Structure 1
Amino acid sequence: MGRDEKIRWGILSTAGIGINHVIPGLLKSPHAEVVAISSRDGGRARAVADRFAIPRAYGSYEALLEDPEIDVVYNPLPNHLHVDFTLASASKGKHVLCEKPIGITAEDARRLRSVPDGILIGEAFMVRHHPQWKRAREIVRSGELGEIKAIRALFAYHNVEPDNVRNQAEIGGGGLLDIGCYAVTAGRYFFEAAPERALALIDRDPGFGTDRLASVLLDFGRGRQLNFTSATQLVPAQSLEILGPSGRLELEIPFNPPADHHTAIVIDKGESLGGELARREILPACDQYTEQANAFARAIAAQEPLEHDVADAIVNMAVLDAIFASERTNSWASVQS
C-alpha cells in the first residue's frame, strides 16, 4: 500500500458508534476514505453523509453492498444482524470490520467460516489497537510483574431507554454482549490464552429481560483468573488491573479513553499501593479507532497479518456462551471453543 493509496469504506447504517467514533476515526487515517453510507431511512443517510462529506448515501443496506467502489464494509448493525450482513458483504467481495460482538452465539459466529478466501473479517475491538494496551502487554511479557495470575475488570454505564438496542433481549441486547465482551477480550489478550470454564452471577431487568448486572469468574488454568463486572444500570465506571507476584499494573481508562487526551499506566510493586513509589507511564493522545483502521488497511494490503481473525472472534463468543450457560445451570460451565 503506497503512501497515497487509500482503502475505500462503506458504512452499513447510521448507528451511533459509527457516527460518534468510527467515522471520525476513519477520516483521520491516511489509509482510509469513506465513500458511502447507508440507512433504512434514506434521508437519515443523506444527512449523515452531508455532515461528514461522504459522497454517496443509500436508502438500504443492500444498495450499499452493490457499490463496486467499496473495498471494505464497517458493520455496526444490531447484534443479531452482524453475521448475516457480514456474510452478505463478503459475498460481494468486500472485507468487513464488524462491530463487537461478531455474533450473538458461537454457533452464529461459526457461520463466518464460510467466507471466501481472500476476504478479511475483523471484530472491532478497538482497544487492542491502543498503545496503552500494547504497552501494558509489553510490560506483562517482560516479566516485570512476575507471571500474572489475576485480572480484575469493571465496565458499567446507565441506560434504561426501552427503545435502545442494548435493552432489547431478542436482538442480542444486554451488558455482557455489549461491554462484558471487553473484559473477556482483556483476559485473553493479557493472559494470551483462552479460559477453560466460567462461573456467573447475573441479574436481569424484569421488563427488558436483559442482563443488567453480571459478575463473572473465568478460569484460565494454572491458577490464572479473570473476574469482572459488567452493568448497564449503574453509574458509568471502568477499570482494569493486572496482578502478578511482583507487581500490579493498572490502566486508568482502559476501554474508551478520550482520543484527544493522554492515557496512563500505573505500575505498583506493592510498597506504595499507588502512592509516590508507583511508576506512572504517560502515553500520548491517540484515537484507537484510527489505529484500528490503519491496522485493518495494512492487513488488506498484505503488509501484515490480521492479528485477530474470525477464529479469534469465535473463541470470544464461546466464552460468552459459557457465561450464559453458567447462569442457566447455576454452576461452572466449560468453554466449548
Structure 2
Amino acid sequence: MAALVSRVFTAFGPPKVEKKNDAIRFGILGAAQIAPLALITPATSHPEVIVQAIAARDHARATAFAKKHNIPDVRTSYDEILEDPNIDAVLIPLPNSLHFEWAVRAIRAGKHVLLEKPSTSNATEAEILFNLPELSQPGAPVLLEAFHNRFHPAVHKFLSFITPSDVVHVHTDSMVPWLILDKDNIGFNYKLSGGSMMMLGTYNFGVIRMIFGDDPVECLTCEPGIFGDGIHDQCDTDFKAKFRFPNGGIAEASTTMRGPIWWKPSEARVTHKEVVVDNKSLPTTQEQVRTRLVTLHGFIHAFIWHRIDVKDTFVIRNKSDRRPIKTWTEAKSHKAYSYKEAAGEFANLPGEPWWMSYRYQLEEFVNRVKGRSTQYWVEGQDSWDQMKMIDMAYEKSGLGLRPTSDFR
C-alpha cells in the first residue's frame, strides 16, 4: 500500500526538471479537464516540453486555468495559438466533434498535434485527417491520437503473454460511476459526438485490436443503453458489443458511464485455444496440451494499479482416444510500472514506476517530433481502423454514426 500511495502521489506531483533551450512549446486549445493529465502534469518532468499558451472560448476561464496551472500565455482564440511561430505543437482536448476541424487547421498551420481520443467523430473524418497531403511532405507535422494507455509498460507486458492467432475469446469491460457524469455532460451530447463507445468504449476496442493484432470483420451484436428521455436518445450511456475477428475469435466489450458508485478497474481477459506443448519426456503415444487465460486488470489506468494474471492449464493425454492422464494448473501474477519491469524487447526504454501512461506517451511524442526513433507508436492507419470499429458498432446498435463535420 505504501508503494501505491508513493507512486500515485509522485505521478500527480512529479519532480520539476530544468527545460532545454530547444524544448517543444505547446499550446492548448480549450481549458478541458483532461488537459492537466494529458499534458500539463507529464510535461513537468520532461526537459523537452514547455506548456506555453492556452486559449478557450471563455477567455476568463482560460485566464483562470492558466493561473492555476502556471501557463505563461493566454490567447484570445485558437487561431491565435496556431498563428504563433513560437508554438511548436498543440494539444487538442476539445469535444469530439471539434477534433477533426482543429486537427486539420493545426496541421495546415505546421503544428505538431497531440489529439485526444477518439481522434474524430467517425471513420469518414479519420480517413481525411490521417491522409492529409501535408502529412506526407518532408518535415511534416507529427500527428498522434492520444491513446495514452497503449503506451504503458503494463499493456506491453500483458501482450507478451498472448499469441494473437491462438486467441479464441476476449472479454473487456470498463466503467465510470454514475455520480461523475450527469445528463448535461458532453459525453451524452450527440451533436458533440458523445456516447459511451466514443468516450470510454474506445479503450476497450483499442485493447481488443491490440490483442488480436487485427481488425474485426463483423460486429455481431451491439446493445446500447440510453436515457430514453427524448433528448439524449442517440447517445449510449452504456453498451455491450460482440465482434468476430479474421481468425474466428470472438471479442466482447461492455462499458457503462452510469456504473455503480464502487469503481471497478477495467479488465481485459483473453482465452487461448488448446495448443500442443513440446514435452520430449513423454512416450510417442502421449501428448501435452496447454490452454492459456491471460487477464489484465486495469488496462486503462495501469499507472495507478494493475495486475496481469497468467493461468495455464496443462493436460497430458493419450493421442489415440484423448483420454487425460494428468491435469494441472500453473498460475502467476505480474506487474510492470516501468519498462525495466516489463523486460523483453522494451527493457531498456526510459521510465520510472511513477510515470503516468500520459508521461510514457509524451516521451514517444517528443521522440517523434525530434526525429528520434520510437519503440511504440499509434500510426494514422491504426487510428482510422479504430474509428471503423467504432462506426461498425454504432451501425449495429441502431443509434447511427456520430455526425460528420462540414469543415474541409
d(CA) in 1 for partners of 2:335, 2:398: 43
Q: 2:204 aligns with which of 160, 183, 188?
A: 183
- CA–CA distance in structure 1, aligned partners of residues 33 and 99 of structure 2: 16
CA contact (8 A) 1:26 1:289 kept: no
Task: Give the 5 Å matches for 1:176-215.
Answer: 176-199=197-220, 200-207=222-229, 208-209=232-233, 210-215=235-240
Shift of 1:109: 1.6
Decide which structure has the larger Cα Rg and report it: 2
Give the alignment partner of residue 125 of structure 1, picking from 123, 127, 147: 147
Q: Quote how far apart the aligned CAs of 1:28 are.
A: 2.3
Checking the alignment, whether the CA contact within 8 Å between 2:34 and 2:93 is kept in structure 1 is yes
1:192-224 CA-partner distances (Å, limit 9, x unpaired): 111111121122221322101211111112221
SS in 1 for 2:34: helix
Q: Which residue of 2 aligns with 1:86?
A: 103
What TM-score do the two structures reach when normalised by structure 2? 0.73
Counterpart for residue 255 of structure 2: 230
Shift of 1:29: 2.2
Matched residue of 1:218: which SS?
Answer: strand
The CA distance in 1 between the partners of 2:211 and 2:25, in whole Å, is: 32
Larger displacement relative to structure 2 (125-134 or 52-61)? 52-61
Which secondary structure state, in structure 2, belongs to the residue aligned with residue 150 of structure 1? strand
Q: Once the 2 structures are TM-superposed, how far is the Cα of residue 90 of structure 1 from its aligned partner?
A: 0.7
Residues 115 and 69 of structure 1: is their aligned pair in 2 closer, same or farther, counting only changes over 3 Å? farther
The alpha-carbon deviation at position 34 of structure 1 amounts to 1.0
Unpaired runs of at least 5, structure 2:
1-18, 274-290, 315-328, 338-352, 401-408
- From 318, 323, 337, the equivalent of 2:388 is 318
Q: Which residue of 2 is the match for residue 99 of structure 1?
A: 116
1:117-173, Cα deviation, whole Å (9 max, x unpaired)? 3122111110110000111122225x8xx8222211001112552331101112111
Give TM-score, length-normalised by structure 1.
0.88
Distance in 2 separating the partners of 1:153 and 1:72: 34
2:287 aligned with 1:287: no
Structure 2 Cα separation of the partners of residues 62 and 115 of structure 1: 21
2:298/2:305 contact within 8 Å kept: no
CA distance in 2, matches of 1:301, 1:287: 21
What value does the CA root-mean-square deviation take over the aligned residues?
2.2
Residue identity in the other structure for 1:311: Q
For these two proteins, the number of residue pairs brought into alignment is: 319
- Equivalence for 2:132: 114
Change over 3 Å in CA distance of 1:161–1:262 after alignment to 2: closer
Kindly indicate whether the alpha-carbon contact (under 8 Å) linking 1:262 and 1:283 is maintained by their aligned counterparts in 2: no
Identity over aligned pairs, percent: 23
**Residues 211-250 of structure 1: per-residue CA shift (max 9 Å, x gap):** 0121111111222121010111122432111221331111
SS of the aligned residue for 2:175 comes to: strand
8 Å CA contact 2:270, 2:295 repeated in 1: yes
Hey, what does 2:46 align to over in structure 1? Answer: 29
Match of 1:264 among 307, 318, 333: 307
Q: Is it true that 1:150 corresponds to 2:169 in the alignment?
A: yes
In 2, Cα distance between equivalents of 1:121 and 1:20: 19
SS at match of 2:161: helix
3-state SS of 2:149 partner: helix
Question: 3-state DSSP class of the match of 2:360?
Answer: helix
Q: Measure, in 2, the Cα distance between the counterparts of 1:120 and 1:170.
A: 28
**Which residue does 1:248 correspond to in 2?**
293
Unaligned runs of 5+ in 1: 331-337
